[in-house]
Structure 1
Amino acid sequence: MDLVTLEEIRQLKYRYLRCVDLKLWDEFAGVFTEDAVAEYDTPVLGKTLKLEGRDAIVDYMRGNLGADKISTHTAGAPEIVVDGDHATGTWSLDDTIILVEHRLLIRGAAFYHDAYRRGADGQWRVERTGHVRTYEYMVSLDDMPSLKFTAGVPDSR
């Protein structure tokens, strides 16, 4: 097994998550192939969200997880299988989204199922991503009167 390739794919996934949480949309775009597809199980919306193409994925995230939202995404325990210039990965996900304006907290866990492709430039990119929720819940911050935040909304970069 090529440990360098495994590490490159792990770094790619971590970059994906960091860019979403820090709202680094130009860098986020760079993790995807142009024809990437994303399918996210979203019980809060009552449907699976399917986005086709890098621009559609980035535009959706920019519009729905902008600077007025606080998010943390952590993925771990990867199971990565490499076959030449293609690879697949399964990751456990734990995430929190705080909708400040609506005073809502959304928490959940899921398993990501990804496909990766190494480009002619030697860089790995996400070709397909998506997750299936194991759970998700939403609660009003007004229901938690003792909750205090010690950090603000990150600047949009």
Structure 2
Amino acid sequence: MDDLESVKQLKYRYLRALDTKDWDVFAETLTVDVTGEYGSSLRFGNRAELVEYMRSSVGPAVITEHRVTHPEIDIEGDSATGRWYLQDRVIVPDFQFMLIGAAFYRDRYRRTDQGWRICATGYDRTYEAKMSLADVPSFALDVGPAIRV
């Protein structure tokens, strides 16, 4: 697999692991010294902080869907940068809440002995829409077996 395809597969694995709550695989997509900046208020300085935040904040009671498209990836030796268009949805049934939004991810990647890993990630929102599911009387949710509890 060439470097470009490897970086794409890495990002897809990061998102799959996030949405299925597979925190071991999620952690494996990141370098130990990864930095994260999600919007203006969420910042992380290493893998342990980032993974623990996701594990505790986006646990089994929170359903997420992250889709990225339109990758713009530049590879220079053992480093790469990437920009992705993100569309996401967050559903919190216990609070009858749903968020849909879009953003542009900006990532940096580093080639390691284990392959490409994300060494910096974050996004800038283009919009975020929030709604109460109580306003949607027909809303029903069935969660499939892919999500780890």
Q: TM-score, normalised by structure 1?
A: 0.90
Q: Counterpart of 1:101 in 2: which secondary structure?
A: helix
**Rounded Cα–Cα distance in structure 2 between residues aligned with 1:70 and 1:153:** 11
CA shift, 1:33, in A, is 0.5
Question: Who is 1:103 aligned against?
Answer: 96
CA shift, 1:109, in A, is 0.2
2:21 pairs with 1:23: yes
Cα pair 1:69 1:153 within 8 Å, conserved: no
Unaligned runs of 5+ in 1: 42-46
Cα pair 1:103 1:141 within 8 Å, conserved: yes
CA shift, 1:73, in A, is 0.3
Match of 1:144 among 129, 136, 140: 136
The one-letter amino acid paired with 2:67 is T
Q: Percent identity?
A: 44
Unaligned runs of 5+ in 2: none
The one-letter amino acid paired with 2:118 is V
**Rounded Cα–Cα distance in structure 2 between residues aligned with 1:148 and 1:122:** 42
Deviation readout 1:99-121 (Å, 9 max, x if unpaired): 111110011000000000001x1
Deviation readout 1:28-61 (Å, 9 max, x if unpaired): 00000000000001xxxxx421011001010000
CA shift, 1:153, in A, is 6.3
Q: 1:153 to 1:98 in 2, by over 3 A?
A: farther
Give the aligned CA root-mean-square deviation in angstroms: 1.4
Query: Runs ≥4 in structure 1, deviation > 4 angstroms?
Result: none
The one-letter amino acid paired with 1:137 is A
Aligned residues: 148
**Rounded Cα–Cα distance in structure 1 between residues aligned with 2:27 and 2:72:** 24
**Rounded Cα–Cα distance in structure 2 between residues aligned with 1:74 and 1:106:** 14
Question: Who is 2:71 aligned against?
Answer: 78
Q: Counterpart of 2:51 in 1: which secondary structure?
A: helix
